Amino acid sequence: MTPSPLARPFPALPQIAGARPAVARARYKEWDRCDLTFVTLDEGTAVAGVLTNSKCPSPEVEWCRNALALGQARALVVNAGNSNAFTGSRGRAAVEAIAARAAARLGCQPSDVFVASTGVIGVPLPIDKAEAGLDAAFTAPACDWLAAAEAIGTTDTFPKGAVQRAVIGGRTVTLAGIIKGSGMIAPDMATMLGFIFTDAAVEPGFLQQLLSAANRRTFSCITVDGDTSTSDTVLAFATGKAGNPPLASFGDPGADAFAAALDALCLELAQLVVRDGEGAAKFIEVQVTGATTDGSAHRVAMSIANSPLVKTAIAGEDANWGRVVMAVGKAGEPADRDKLSIRFGNTIVAEGGCAVTGYDETPVATHLKGQEIEIGVDLGLGAGRATVWTCDLTHGYISINADYRS
């Protein structure tokens, strides 16, 4: 598969003490690649997560939601090629079988095993393939994070990962993350499947607080196509092997540094998903200021970012600011036409309810020919602001999704 023109190289991700990844071939689809990932986690690993708000979630999402309440983890199992969503009791049985088999291997409770699946909706996950894949992973040598990132992908055109570090109590801790996602991206919480591992010692409740806050600023601020998956899952695992004093609140030394590192990691992972948007050729940042509240600004920004007319205009390198006006107006948020201003890059193209007098489209045309596009909107009503990220909409998106099951 040809990598996206917006692809970024996979970084050198270090191993995380207390987390051992391995991959195997369960052969969920007819492909010659690993499609099952098994990460063993040492005892004492804390876990936090954010999961889809879809009203038709997969049994994996429901399993993780229940297990997260306990705050501890010993393993992660990720299946690629079959989402196991909308599969009734057979789907639930598959998740239970996977968790039970991994738990028996590790001598832990099934609730300590977290399961995620991605791929076609409506086809029950074959238990025999899952169990055979797990058995192979149990005895497979430890792999690097690149192999794990490749194994969790589906329509992804490049593997995605990020790394950050922070100092806590004189100890340097490492955060490494991998993520998959390319289409069906308009998360109402997270984005497809993302997994973060850190050797820091963090109490589960505080880890959940930090991940939820990071999600609101990152994963919940991206969109490729306006469609929220049934399987969206982001999990963070803290093994505690760095030996730092455990973080339990922002009052602990190093908590701010760790929170900043987690935010930076999540933002990088989220933006990598946009850069691999199905058929994407341009990465778009939408900035909205002057809204009545930050929430209102976010909804206006997402209205712009999700507009097929805006996205196709950017794909065609057409400075059609009227489509941005349309997207602002349909958002259902407070707006005043005569206070609105719009810019592409650094060039203001419209303000005060009409086009800028003497507007020269040349610098805008130059900006739109690039791969990194910026759209700015000021509503002129208040101090609310938000930034979201999306990509353009090309015929490539249609081709990929028209042929997805075949």
Q: Per-10-residue mean pLDDT for the chain, 406 residues long? A: 93 98 95 96 98 87 96 98 90 97 98 94 93 97 98 94 96 97 68 91 98 95 79 94 97 98 97 91 98 98 96 94 96 96 96 90 94 98 98 83 61
Q: Does residue 321 lie within any of the structural domains?
A: yes
Find residue 374's DSSP bridge partners. Answer: 285
**Spatial separation of the C-alpha atoms in residues 201 and 17, rounded to whole Å:** 11
Asked if 306 and 255 sit in the same domain, the reply is no
Asked if 330 and 257 sit in the same domain, the reply is no
Asked if 73 and 217 sit in the same domain, the reply is yes
Of 117, 108, 91, 258, the residue nearest 174 (C-alpha): 258
Q: Out of 275, 298, 330, pick the residue that ends a domain.
A: 275
Q: With beta carbons less than 8 A apart as the criterion, state whether 129 and 95 touch.
A: no
| Strand, helix or coil for residue 262 | helix
What's residue 186's pLDDT?
Answer: 73
Q: Out of 219, 254, 275, pick the residue that ends a domain.
A: 275
Alpha helix (H) ranges present in 286-361?
A: 294-305, 308-315, 321-330
Q: Is 30 annotated as a binding residue?
A: no
Q: Does residue 8 lie within any of the structural domains?
A: no
- Helix, strand, coil tally for the chain in percent (to 5): 35, 25, 40
Q: Is 278 annotated as a binding residue?
A: yes
What's residue 406's pLDDT?
Answer: 47
**Spatial separation of the C-alpha atoms in residues 166 and 184, rounded to whole Å:** 33
Q: Does residue 114 lie within any of the structural domains?
A: yes
CATH number of the domain residue 233 falls in? 3.60.70.12
Q: Does residue 4 lie within any of the structural domains?
A: no
Q: With beta carbons less than 8 A apart as the criterion, state whether 233 and 145 touch.
A: no
Asked if 30 and 141 sit in the same domain, the reply is yes
Q: Out of 275, 301, 333, pick the residue that ends a domain.
A: 275
What's residue 405's pLDDT?
Answer: 54
Asked if 271 and 288 sit in the same domain, the reply is no
Q: Which residues are catalytic?
A: 191
Find residue 75's DSSP bridge partners. Answer: 40, 113
Q: Report the 10 Å Cβ neighbour count for 161.
A: 24
Asked if 232 and 362 sit in the same domain, the reply is no
Q: Is 29 annotated as a binding residue?
A: no
Q: With beta carbons less than 8 A apart as the criterion, state whether 239 and 44 touch.
A: yes
Asked if 227 and 122 sit in the same domain, the reply is yes
* Domain, as residue range, for 224: 19-275
Asked if 361 and 271 sit in the same domain, the reply is no
Asked if 267 and 287 sit in the same domain, the reply is no
Residue 158: φ, ψ to 5°? -155, 150
Q: Does residue 11 lie within any of the structural domains?
A: no
CATH number of the domain residue 299 falls in? 3.10.20.340
Asked if 64 and 107 sit in the same domain, the reply is yes
**Spatial separation of the C-alpha atoms in residues 227 and 225, rounded to whole Å:** 6
**Spatial separation of the C-alpha atoms in residues 172 and 303, rounded to whole Å:** 41
- Identity of residue 317: E
Asked if 227 and 299 sit in the same domain, the reply is no
The pTM for the full model equals 0.94
Of 145, 143, 65, 147, the residue nearest 111 (C-alpha): 65
- Identity of residue 199: D
Q: Does residue 105 lie within any of the structural domains?
A: yes
Q: With beta carbons less than 8 A apart as the criterion, state whether 270 and 218 touch.
A: yes
Q: Does residue 9 lie within any of the structural domains?
A: no
| Strand, helix or coil for residue 258 | helix
Domains held by the chain: number: 2
Q: Does residue 13 lie within any of the structural domains?
A: no
Asked if 149 and 288 sit in the same domain, the reply is no
